[in-house]
Structure 1
Amino acid sequence: MKASTFFVGLVSGVVAGSAAVLFSTPQSGSDLRSNVKTASSDWKEKLSEVKFQISDLKQSIAGLTKTAKTDVPQTINELKQSVQQWQSETAPIQESLQNEIASIQLAMEELEKSIAKHQKDSSPANS
């Protein structure tokens, strides 16, 4: 549903409701005319205010859209560059850590072999 259709329906409903209240209350003709004039001027002011707010909202949305079109791609590019820089800076550290992990694994394997050999040599069957 379009916003303009919604607002037209809303304003029409409010005007119809106000008119129904004005005409259904018991009052003299001059009082009724006075109340209709007052209500009419009040509604004109409120309608003018709503139009101004809608115009302001449209301008804000247009400004946000323009900002989003320029700022979002720029921010994405900056993030990509930051990630690429981080990856290039951490690549040597990552390689170094992988080498250290490999040497620790090798040392653990040698230690396990050594312990297994020592247990085999120390077993009661060999005594």
Structure 2
Amino acid sequence: MNAKSLLVGLITGTAAGAAATLFSTPVSGQEAREKVKLAQTSVKSSTKMIKTDAKQLKEAVTRLKEAAKETLPEVKDSLKVSAGMWKESTKPNIEHLKNDVKDIQDNIQDLQKSLPNKGKK
């Protein structure tokens, strides 16, 4: 949503509400003018607050975006380094497991050779 559209909508809604209230209540001209001034002051105050909040939000988003630009490459590089270190640290274990599997296969073949053949009598 566009901040300008929101601001226009809030101001329009406030003005319409104030006008409806002003014209629907029986008051003297002096009281009506005072209410209009009060409503005008309230609208100005609300508008200033909304502008300030919108500006702060925009600045916060900009800071977050800049922080992400700086931080994400560092995290990416750190993850690459960690993955590389993990891969290197697991190489000996993988080789050891491959050797164990080969030894087991050799033992199974030796056992099969040493067992009497059931098919031949």
After TM superposition, is the score higher than 0.5?
Answer: yes
CA distance in 2, matches of 1:49, 1:32: 26
Q: Structure 1, unaligned stretches of length 5 or more?
A: none
Shift of the 114–2 alpha-carbon distance from structure 1 to 2, 3 Å rule, reads: farther
CA distance in 2, matches of 1:15, 1:111: 95
Shift of the 106–43 alpha-carbon distance from structure 1 to 2, 3 Å rule, reads: same
Aligned to 1:110: 110
Larger mean CA deviation between 36-45 and 17-26 belongs to 17-26
Aligned to 1:39: 39
If the length of structure 1 is used for normalisation, what is the TM-score? 0.80
CA distance in 2, matches of 1:66, 1:37: 43
Aligned to 1:26: 26
Amino acid at match of 1:106: D
Amino acid at match of 1:37: K
CA RMSD for the aligned pairs? 2.2
Identity of paired residues, percent?
36
If the length of structure 2 is used for normalisation, what is the TM-score? 0.83
Once the two structures are TM-superposed, the CA of residue 75 in structure 1 deviates from its matched residue by 0.8
Q: Structure 2, unaligned stretches of length 5 or more?
A: none
SS at match of 1:26: coil
Aligned to 1:17: 17
More helix by share: 1
Larger mean CA deviation between 51-60 and 41-50 belongs to 41-50
Equivalent pairs counted in the alignment come to: 121
Aligned to 1:96: 96
Once the two structures are TM-superposed, the CA of residue 46 in structure 1 deviates from its matched residue by 1.5
